[in-house]
Amino acid sequence: MAVKIRLARRGRKKMAMYDVVVADARAPRDGRFIEKIGTYNPNTPVAAIEMDNEKAFQWLMNGAQPTDTVCAMLSYRGLLYKKHLQIGVIKGAMTQEEADKKLEAWMKDKEATIEGKEKSLADKAAAEKKARLEAETKVNEARAEAIKKRQEEAEAAAKAAEAPAEEEAPAEEASTDEAPKADATEEAPKEEASEEKSEEDKKED
């Protein structure tokens, strides 16, 4: 019976999560399996892999064949390198102590790499958040300036509309004051004409 280490899908739509299972190669993807040895969640910024390293290593040594995705996961966890070293021990190329030291050194380097990657991702997220806040601040400032400018323009237009009304009011008052003067000037010649007629009448008499 060919045995594979592969992923079995679970989780809701567009938020898939996977179980790392050991199953018969002839079984369907999400069907029956022999043993569950871990989980894989690709929805996090750094893909979360939880795995029973001892069981996974035991199945590898027993001849289970991982799929491409699981092979990358096992390599990420150092299990393929551990299998390589263990085969060297079995063949007599190195002692178990030497293999353990090499694996320990490799794991330290890998942990440092993972920590650096997580830190860089966190710094990148913080920088993006800061940039978004600065962009929002600039947009808000520009919006406030535009509102202030519109208010100033509206106030200036209101003042400009009030100014002609004030100028028209004194002009109307001036026209009302000039009317009686005109009447007085018009009445004066009439009175003079009546006086001249009376003098002429006296001379005729």
Reduced to 3 states (helix: H, G, I; strand: E, B; else coil), residue 47 is: coil
Specify the CATH number for the domain of residue 40: 3.30.1320.10
Inter-residue contact 47 to 76 (CB < 8 Å)? no
pLDDT of residue 147: 92
- Give pLDDT tens digits for 65-110: 999 999 999 998 889 999 999 999 999 888 999 999 999 999 888 8
- Give pLDDT tens digits for 167-176: 665 555 555 5
Indicate whether 127 belongs to any domain.
no
Q: How many domains does the chain have?
A: 1
Range of the domain at 63: 3-67+74-103
Inter-residue contact 8 to 18 (CB < 8 Å)? yes
d(CA 174, CA 169): 9
Indicate whether 94 belongs to any domain.
yes
Indicate whether 80 belongs to any domain.
yes
Indicate whether 87 belongs to any domain.
yes
- Give pLDDT tens digits for 102-159: 999 998 888 888 788 878 888 888 889 999 999 999 999 999 999 988 998 888 888 8
Indicate whether 83 belongs to any domain.
yes
**Closest to 60 in 3D by CA, of 77, 39, 74:** 74
Dihedral angle sign, alpha carbons of residues 31, 37, 39, 40: negative
